Amino acid sequence: MTNNVQKTNYPALYTLIVVFFFWGFIAAGNNIFIPFCKEYFHLDQFQSQLIDFSFYTAYYLGGLLLFTFGMLRGKDLVTFWGYRKSIIFGLLFSALGAGAMILAVEANVYIGMLCGLFIMALGFSLQQTAANPFAILLGDPKTGASRVNLGGGINSLGTTIGPLIVAFALFGTTAAVNDEQIKTLSLDKVVLLYSCVGFLFIAAACLFYFSKKLPDGKSTEPIEKSTKALTTLIIMTVLLFLSLVPVFQTYKSVENDKVIQIEKQINSKNEEVKSLSYVDSIKLENLQSEIATLKTDLQTIKVPLENKRMMWLAIALFVVLGSLASAYFRSRNKTEGWGAMQYPQLLLGMIALFMYVGVEVAIGSNLGELLKTPDFGSLQASEITPYVSMYWGSMMIGRWAGAISAFQFSANKKRLLTILMPFIAFSVIIAANTLANYDMSQLYFYVICVVIQIVAFFVSKDKPVRTLVVFSAFGILALLVGLNTTGTVAIYAFLSGGLACSIMWPSIFNLALMGLGKYTAQGSAFLVMMILGGGIIPPIQGKLADMIGIHWSYLISLVCFIYILFYAIIVKKVLQKQGISVEESNN
């Protein structure tokens, strides 16, 4: 009897999972760049979060461009080119972004670095669209989910190691570089880092190009027409651009120049106070009076300016949520022309994924600024690396445990591995940071939070709705604890946001795509576009931090978890109305 089982192309798979590693490595490494750039380029918290804005909006725009061109040509570009060729194009585009980063770093231009990250992420957008289905083609379709989960596990390993390597490139082997010293650091190692990254992008592209045994993954099937969905997305993009432009313009305004000037005067006066002899009480009193007057003048100008910025950012958020809500109600009346957007589970899921990526990125991106405050340790930018690594490592802890369900293990073995894998992943994070000469003693007891996550896994029972309910509730509880405490307890609580987020992506995807039939691929593309949340939510939290402080800015993250809980509850009812059972479905 002939064995027709398709063998896995392991050399191609190993090359592909390197691509998965890149996504996590660069994304998590940005969390080290954010506090560094804030000090190095003298930015406020909102401006520092533009790193996330540039990186994650590229995913959205890349997906929108692919969808738009596909609609115009009547064919999906990724399947028309083929998965292999699409990944090659994406890798070369990311290599171009790495080159742009090198030029920007050499010139010490922050906007140039943002452009480099944007170009790199555009390449990632194309790679990510093609990589998951390509992984399924590299072997037996029945084991395709295992290969995708392997890629996800390697992606999480990249998020754990990325902060360590980027920190080394920025700060060298010195354990603590104070924030004043950051302004004088050389960026030669950053140039070397992105030279290596660019080389690896090109090398991976060459491996894909010259390998003759790889499937092309081409398809000539016509794309499902969705003119109303496309129109909605284009209008949303234009309105989003128009609402963000005024925010950026305020940083070139006369009011902003006055704010900068007054802040410099205040800093100068404070330095003068420090240099005074303790006996010179009269001059000290005069300086303190001058500082108080300057602070009053500063607030008079700054408060209205910050309120204006926050108003426009709120409008940008409303544009995204309002556009999707509008599509939700309009598509109820007439489904023709809406394509995948005619399904409420998808539209509500798009918002859920927007919130999910937003909260996942925002917690980590603002973590560095939080840890610099007295209530959270007064750490220098160079000392936050192990905490950022642990936050993104929390994603790995959850995903390694979540990947177990994709394998054909016995029930007892699954239960055992669900307990063991989180501890193994936790040990990997501790070991990696210890090898990088970071003191991890402050994070040993974080294992308690890992135990709570393990309990959450057993409660959720691999059911997508229950998983979202349990883990969003976990996130809400963690944020409430973090907002109402300080010190180690609060740090552990905010880090636990990573544990809560770790398993949400597949559950949201699964539920949003249920019952879409021929529109499943299109719905998947719409969901990937909602990575946009990582570009919108963090800057909004950053601006809120400029106004009310970094600690309470995490209210934004709390709201995101609350919506995900709402989605988990409402989507079950939506699917049941369509006659779709969700209790039998697993992640």
3-state secondary structure string across 435-465: HCCCCCHHHHHHHHHHHHHHHHHHHHCCCHH
Three-class SS state of 544: helix
Q: What are 304-335's pLDDT values in tens digits?
A: 999 999 999 999 999 999 999 999 999 888 88
* C-alpha–C-alpha distance, residues 258 and 253, integer Å: 9
Q: How confident is the model at residue 564 (pLDDT cuts 50, 70, 90)?
A: very high
Cα 469 from Cα 460, distance rounded (Å)? 8
Residues 213 and 298 in one domain: no
- In percent, the amount of the chain with pLDDT more than 90 equals 44
Q: Which residues contact 12 (CB under 8 A, 6 or more apart)?
A: 138, 208, 211, 213, 214
Q: What is the 3-state secondary structure (H, E, C) of 240-297?
A: HHHHHHHHHHHCCCHHHHHHHHHHHHHHHHHHHHHHCCCCCHHHHHHHHHHHHHHHHH
The answer to whether residues 169 and 186 touch, using CB atoms and an 8 Å cutoff, is: no
Average pLDDT over residues 374-392: 88
Q: Are residues 208 and 300 in the same domain?
A: no
As for how many domains the chain has, the answer is: 2
* 425 close to 393: Cβ distance less than 8 angstroms: yes
Q: What is the mean pLDDT of residues 560-582?
A: 91
Is 264 part of a structural domain of the chain?
Answer: yes
Is 340 exposed, middle or buried (CB count within 10 Å of its CB: 0-12, 13-18, 19+)? buried
Residue 178 lies in a domain: yes
- DSSP classification of residue 515: T
Residue 586 lies in a domain: no
DSSP character at residue 75: B
Clarify whether residues 27 and 103 are in a common domain: yes
Q: What is the CATH number of the domain that holds 120?
A: 1.20.1250.20
Q: Which of these three, 292, 309, 337, is where a domain ends?
A: 337
Q: Is the pLDDT of residue 450 over 90?
A: yes
**Confidence bin at 91 (pLDDT 50/70/90):** very high
CB atoms within 10 A of CB 439: 11
Three-class DSSP category at 74: coil
In a domain, 3, yes or no: no
3-state secondary structure of 581: coil
Q: What is the pLDDT of residues 1-24, one digit of tens each?
A: 444 556 777 777 777 888 888 888
Q: Final residue of a domain: which of 337, 359, 383?
A: 337
Answer yes or no: do 348 and 438 share one domain: yes
Mean pLDDT on 155-181: 73
Region of residue 53 (left: phi > 0; alpha: psi -120 to 50; beta: else)? alpha
Q: What is the mean pLDDT of residues 567-583?
A: 86
Q: Are 398 and 475 in contact (CB under 8 A)?
A: no
Residue 73 CB neighbours (<10 A): 12
Residues 392, 496 within the same domain: yes
What string of DSSP letters covers 199-250? HHHHHHHHHHHH-TTS------PBPPP-HHHHHHHHHHHHHHHHHHHHHHHH
Q: Which residues contact 382 (CB under 8 A, 6 or more apart)?
A: 167, 170, 171, 174, 175, 176, 177, 178, 182
